[in-house]
Amino acid sequence: MLHQFLSYLKEGNTFNSFEIFSTEENVVLNFSSYKKRREGLELETTQEVDIADFESLAISDKKSFLIINTNDVITKIVTSDDDGDEMILHKAFPNLKIQDFYYEITKWGNSNIISICRCSLVIKYLDLCKENGFSISGFSIGVSNISILFPFVQKNVIHIRDKALTIDRQDQTVHISTITMDPNQSYDIGGMTLTSKQLLGFGNILTYIQNNNTQKSNFYEVNSKLKEESQHQRIYKLFFKIGILILLLLLVINFLFFNYYYSKTENLKQAQQVNTQNKSRIIELTELVNTKERMIEDVISSSSSKVSFYTDAITYSMPKTVLLNEMNFQPLLKDIKENKELVYIKKLIIVSGVSTDSKVFSTWLEALEDFNWIEKIDITAYDYTEQDASIFSLKIYMSDEE
């Protein structure tokens, strides 16, 4: 399980082959994409364009394995039991300057499929791919790696572009010949149908995945470096995307939390504002109540101690011929209304009643005026009624409220 995860992390599930080959007119690019599934590799897409239209390739995943199969590549097959690379190369290409060429040798049975290409041309195509945004995970030259498909192909003749490989399964040998035209035949490879144009790319992808040890070359270190760089680029892009997704997820979570707590804060602010307003109103009402209480207390405190004295003095001095109906101490000027201040007349007592003897009434008024706390007395009403009785009303102004 861990191995599969690490493999996916480094390589992914998509494998692309990028073949550069020569036709009679020009150099052509063939791109094929394969998806790795439980059942095996499955062809996804394939595109073929002229090298001049390199940029027209509509490819999202540009991590690819490069196959150079142009006219600059020479392929020969040598039957030899000698496993030495130099001996096989010398037999196929006498007097070859190995330092100027890349070579690749694949052994199948008694045959060695040998392909060579100048190093400068390989570097040229690698640079071309990088300039166009391709991440090359490795490269192969010629048709060397086609031998991995021999066990899966039922036919004894395999056509690849302008070459035909004839397989002698009994002698375990392979022969290569040049043909004038590619018949573009179809081949069944483990239940997947591939054309002769796709066959070499698929064989190289299979060799890359299986890390086939039968292959020998002098660019192993170059391929190892390309593979490592490609894997690092994939891991970087993968973790970069994961990092972006995590960052976006954190931003969304942060936004949700911020929005949640911001709403709560706004509600609390509104509640606080209402509470502040209510508190201010309560303070105002409390102050108003306290003011009224103080006013009432002032009225009570200023008058309660003397009220009984004033009323007692008036009633004790009152003759028997006078009958009181009302005695109003510090009367109100206005009716009592809600939320309105009490307005009353200070230092005033209103007395009303009935008198049956006018002379005695006058004497009583003179007696009241002699009190030192009475400043003056106004008779506001004095009307005669039947049976020698008179209705009167007095305003007694006090000189000192205390």
**DSSP letter, residue 400:** -
Would you put residue 347 in left (φ > 0), alpha (ψ -120 to 50) or beta? left
pLDDT at 134: 87
Give mean pLDDT, residues 365-393.
Answer: 84
Give mean pLDDT, residues 305-331.
Answer: 82
Look at residue 101 and tell me whether its pLDDT is greater than 90: yes
d(CA 331, CA 393): 14
Q: Which residues contact 107 (CB under 8 A, 6 or more apart)?
A: 113, 147, 214, 216
pLDDT-derived band at 7 (thresholds 50, 70, 90) equals low
Give mean pLDDT, residues 285-304.
Answer: 69
Window from 7-21, 131-145, 197-211 with minimum mean pLDDT: 7-21
Give mean pLDDT, residues 16-40.
Answer: 87
Look at residue 6 and tell me whether its pLDDT is greater than 80: no
pLDDT-derived band at 402 (thresholds 50, 70, 90) equals very low
pLDDT at 25: 81
Q: What percent of the chain has pLDDT over 90?
A: 15
Which tens digits make up the pLDDT trace of 335-344? 777 766 767 7
Looking at every residue in the chain, the average pLDDT score rounds to 84
pLDDT-derived band at 66 (thresholds 50, 70, 90) equals very high
Query: Which secondary structure element, helix H or strand E, spans residue 5, and what is its range?
Result: helix 2-11
Residue type at 352 in one-letter notation? S
pLDDT at 298: 60
pLDDT at 303: 54
The SS3 call for residue 208 is helix
d(CA 175, CA 173): 7
For 89, 91, 223, 352, the CA distances from 94, given in Å and listed in that order, are 7, 6, 26, 154
Look at residue 294 and tell me whether its pLDDT is greater than 60: yes
pLDDT-derived band at 65 (thresholds 50, 70, 90) equals very high
Look at residue 227 and tell me whether its pLDDT is greater than 80: yes
Give mean pLDDT, residues 106-118.
Answer: 90
Q: Is the separation of the CB atoms in 144 and 102 below 8 Å?
A: no
Which tens digits make up the pLDDT trace of 169-185? 888 889 988 887 666 78
Which tens digits make up the pLDDT trace of 117-172? 999 999 999 999 888 888 899 999 999 888 888 888 888 888 887 888 899 888 88
b/e code 315-339 from CB counts within 10 Å (16+ = b): eeebeebbeeeebebbeeeeeeeee
Main-chain phi, psi angles of 341, to 5 degrees: -75, 145
Look at residue 4 and tell me whether its pLDDT is greater than 80: no
Give mean pLDDT, residues 369-389.
Answer: 83
Higher-confidence residue of 340 and 283: namely 283
pLDDT-derived band at 214 (thresholds 50, 70, 90) equals low
> DSSP labels for 341-361?
---B-TTEEEEEEEES-HHHH
Helices (H), 318-397: 358-369
